[in-house]
Each structure stands twice: as structure tokens, then as C-alpha cells.
Chain A
Amino acid sequence: ETGVTQSPTHLIKTRGQQVTLRCSSQSGHNTVSWYQQALGQGPQFIFQYYREEENGRGNFPPRFSGLQFPNYSSELNVNALELDDSALYLCASSLAARANVLTFGAGSRLTVL
């Protein structure tokens, strides 16, 4: 059984640009969540996707958006990048929208210059 895979692993962007991060969920998992982990901090919940719709969101502005595809994979899009967006972005999948046992990927490290 494959785990959660994320791409790219590292990327560098400049302020004002847009970025797309990708995530393939663990086999059999239909729910995907995204977290932002700033340096020296714990992960912070961005949002959850289930049945291709967002069904829970943390305290992040609308320029953070996502998609979930029929195969349960997901994308995180961030527009108008700011320096404070520099962080490790973690994707997690779970068996169902109501399940709280999460399987995390290794993350995508974004640096905004």
C-alpha cells in the first residue's frame, strides 16, 4: 500500500507569484487535508476536501484554495504569495471525512523571496 506522496519536495517563488502543490492520497483514502507548518511551529490546518468539495477550513485567507479530483488526489493553490507563506506544506489523507486518523506526506517546502 502506497502512502501519501507530495510534489514538488522543494520550490522557490517570489512575492506575488502563484504556486500549486500536489498530493496523492493513500490507497483507499477519500479525504485529503492540508496543513501549513512554519519554521519552528506546529502544523496549522488549512482545509479538508471530501467528495471534491471543501468541507472545513482553518484561518487562512481565500488566496489559499484547493481542489480534489475523482481519484482523491488534491492540489493546494496559493495566489499572490507573501513572504510569510514560506513554510512546509503537509498533505494528509484519511479513510473518510469523519475519520481523524491522518496519514501525512513528507511535505512540500516553499520558500518565498
Chain B
Amino acid sequence: AQSVTQPDIHITVSEGASLELRCNYSYGATPYLFWYVQSPGQGLQLLLKYFSGDTLVQGIKGFEAEFKRSQSSFNLRKPSVHWSDAAEYFCAVGPLEGTGTASKLTFGTGTRLQVTL
């Protein structure tokens, strides 16, 4: 069965500092990997997704993520955090498009990011 682990429940960084959020996954086949962000009172917003190709994928808002197959990891990074990045971040895995229920994503439990000024 697929699963996603986000080992950090809560992370605090200073504005302008770099950020790395960890994600490890378990999946029986080649998955799609996603990072979503959830601000209070808002729905989930897709930051980026990865299936194949270059293992470093760029997303919106200056975020990037690196896929490491050997470590089953898909960590999210940002070189310089802004106060507006404070939110909950979710890593997710899903099936290949066309194989099973495409919208059946499995999410991690999330990492809450706090940004200090």
C-alpha cells in the first residue's frame, strides 16, 4: 500500500532563510509526486508535481523539489522564505494518469511552517 511520511510536524524559520521540507514515500509503482500548500481558510494549492525527467522540478512561488529514487524522497526547498510562506505543506503521491483513479492521491500528515520576522 502507498504511504507518505512527512517527519517534521512543525518547522520554524526566519524570513530570508532557506527552507527544506522532507517527504518520503512508499509506492508499488512509479508514482506521480506532488507538493500542495494550504493556508488557513483556504483549499490546497498545487506547488509542483513530478513524474519523470529532470529530478529537480520547479514550481510556483519560488519553490523547487528534488526527487531521489534511491532514498524514496521528494523534498521541497526554497532558497529564501518570505513571511507569506507560512502555511501547511502537504506531500502526496498518486497513480500514473490513465492507471486507476487518477485523483486518488495519498497525502502525508503535513508540515506546518512558521516564519519569524
A interface, CB within 8 angstroms of B? 4, 31, 33, 40-45, 48, 55-56, 58, 90, 92, 94, 97-102, 104-107
Contacts and interface: CB of A to CB of B under 8 A. Distances in A.
Q: Is the interface of A mostly helix, strand, loop or mixed?
A: loop
Which interface residue of B4, B100, B105, B106 has the most chain A CB atoms within 10 A? B105
Given A45-B104, A102-B105, A104-B45, 10 more contacts: A33-B104, A41-B110, A42-B90, A94-B102, A97-B103, A99-B97, A100-B94, A100-B105, A106-B42, A107-B43
A92 B104 CA distance: 11
Contacts of B4: 42
Given A101-B49, A105-B43, A42 B108 contact: yes
A48 B46 contact: no
Contacts of A43: 44, 90, 105, 107
B84 interface: no
29 contacts: A33-B103, A40-B110, A41-B110, A42-B4, A42-B90, A42-B107, A42-B109, A42-B110, A43-B44, A44-B107, A45-B101, A45-B105, A45-B106, A48-B101, A56-B103, A58-B104, A90-B44, A92-B43, A92-B103, A94-B102, A97-B101, A99-B97, A99-B103, A100-B32, A100-B49, A101-B46, A102-B103, A104-B43, A106-B42
Interface residues of B, number: 27
A100 B46 CA distance: 11
